[in-house]
Amino acid sequence: MDSSNKKQASDRFKQKRLTGGVCRISCEGDEWILSSVNIEGLKNRFAFAKATGSCVLPAMRAQWDKRGKDAFSFEVLETLEQAEGQSLADFTLDIAELERIKKESAD
């Protein structure tokens, strides 16, 4: 790849807007609300953890060991697309606020 193509690829990557969101991981009455600026990445991480038998979060380790990986489910509760021109820092704050709202409504 020549330098012109590398620059174009780099520019496309920088311009790509993220899709973040909030998800719920559930296991027989227990649930964990998580958020990420890359909700697909979080979903893939969960799928990888189930495929390899590794636990996603230390907070769910006891249930993971007791119930097994197949007792866990992943659900996207809400997504949010990064606004054009929005900084990653501001988008991260928006996702954190969305997570806070979802946690409050789950209580």
| Tens-digit pLDDT profile for residues 27-71 | 998 999 999 999 999 999 999 999 999 998 999 999 999 999 999
Q: Where do we find the tokens 């979060």?
A: 57
CATH code of residue 79:
3.40.1440
Residue 16's pLDDT band, with cuts at 50, 70 and 90, is: confident
- How many structural domains are present in the chain? 1
What pTM was estimated for this model as a whole?
A: 0.81
1 in a domain, yes or no? Answer: no
Q: Residue 91: which domain range?
A: 19-106
31 in a domain, yes or no? Answer: yes
33 in a domain, yes or no? Answer: yes
7 in a domain, yes or no? Answer: no
83 in a domain, yes or no? Answer: yes
- Chain centre distance of CA 73: 14
12 in a domain, yes or no? Answer: no
Residue 77's pLDDT band, with cuts at 50, 70 and 90, is: very high
